[in-house]
Homo-oligomer: A and B are copies of this chain.
């Protein structure tokens, strides 16, 4: 194609690399494409074939860079923690620090459709992610949370966050099939459903139905978080007191 003897002219030289349209496939590019597919089709529509087509590439090409779909999901899960640094533990501020951690986690999960569902299926015990777990444990332990409590508190927080965001996603998904209803419309539907319950058999449901529906998700998330934090705090002994 090119004359081997001739020097490449400057305009070519500038063009050379971009000329080969075929940008080499990398894990990074595959994960990028996977996120595009995830946002468009959701987790159930995230297939290797769809990711490949997003890259303009054959399916089998992916398997040179990724062992299987499970590993691809794991790589996506790792993205969740990119640049996610937990602060230096401050015993005075541990509750606020934990709240910030939880809110940041939720925000990151919300950045991609069904991301919470992916997260729920993963265990952060890979070498890269252990650092993160370590920092979370540091936060809890320097706060004075007993070791045996701290050992499961991290799990509990993550489970709560994943579960909450996943549930948010379910409601959103369930109602955007046809009309892409807004949250306020969903709320109206829910209120109608709960309001129609026979009052004699469901007095407690009716009593809290409005609260379940009216409050913003942000508020409900923080409230659930507070329940856990108060529970944790109940195990923290005052520093100067008895051991």
Interface residues of A (CB under 8 A from B): 120, 123, 130-131, 133-134, 137-138, 141, 147-153, 155-156, 159-160, 162-164, 167, 170, 197, 201-205, 207-208, 211-212, 215, 220, 223-224, 226-232, 234-235
Question: Which chain B residue has the least Cβ–Cβ distance from A212?
Answer: B151
Question: Closest approach, in angstroms, between the C-beta of A109 and any C-beta of chain B?
Answer: 14
* Alpha-carbon separation in the docked complex, A138 to B206 (Å): 11
Question: A130-B202, A163-B163, A230-B235 known; 7 other A-B pairs, CB under 8 Å?
Answer: A123-B167, A123-B170, A151-B211, A152-B212, A152-B224, A159-B163, A230-B230
Instruction: State the oligomeric state as a number of copies.
Output: 2
Question: Closest approach, in angstroms, between the C-beta of A42 and any C-beta of chain B?
Answer: 14
In contact, A234 and B223 (Cβ under 8 angstroms): no
Give the secondary structure class of A's interface.
Answer: helix
Question: Closest approach, in angstroms, between the C-beta of A180 and any C-beta of chain B?
Answer: 20
* Alpha-carbon separation in the docked complex, A167 to B156 (Å): 11
Q: List 30 A-B contacts (CB under 8 A).
A: A120-B163, A123-B167, A130-B202, A130-B205, A133-B205, A134-B201, A137-B205, A141-B204, A141-B208, A147-B208, A148-B211, A148-B215, A148-B223, A150-B204, A151-B212, A152-B212, A152-B227, A156-B160, A156-B224, A156-B227, A156-B228, A159-B159, A159-B160, A162-B163, A163-B163, A227-B228, A227-B232, A228-B231, A230-B230, A231-B231
* A123 contacts across to B, CB distance below 8 A: 167, 170
* A215 contacts across to B, CB distance below 8 A: 148, 151
* Alpha-carbon separation in the docked complex, A160 to B203 (Å): 25
